[in-house]
Amino acid sequence: MPIRIPTTVRNAACDTVVDLLDAGAGAATIEVRSGAQPATANDAASGTVLCTFTLADPAFGAATAGSAALAGTPRATTGSAAGTAGWFRAKDSAGNTVFDGSVSATGGGGDLQLNTTTISVGVAVEITSGSVTMPAG
């Protein structure tokens, strides 16, 4: 039988993960990158950094039903390189990796949803929504 966890534990686990982004003196960041997401968040980042978002501090709201929503959306930045967004890496203010996730256009179901996945240098890019969800088991 698989392990199953109740909603209160899912919420606590989710809050613990997203709270790691708020460690340190500054705001966390999200790097949107091209290419395929590495096999684990322990692996070196792959692809090109297409744009970097500075997050609100705190970065996420409290978890509900095992999921925490990115605070302060929409969030905007401009492209620093051209390419197609493939995945993202979230880092605390010291640059430590906290988690990776999928990217899609708005409505596409990614962990991070952007107004467009086609990034161009100097052109505005916007996070329309983002979330972290802990599995129920």
Contacts of 121 (CB under 8 A, 6+ apart): 78, 79, 80, 81, 82
Tokens representing 6 are 């109740």
Residues 9-56 pLDDT 10s: 999 999 999 999 998 889 999 999 999 999 999 999 999 999 999 999
Q: So where are the chain's domains?
A: 7-133
pLDDT range class, residue 137, cuts 50, 70, 90: confident
pTM reported for the whole predicted model: 0.94
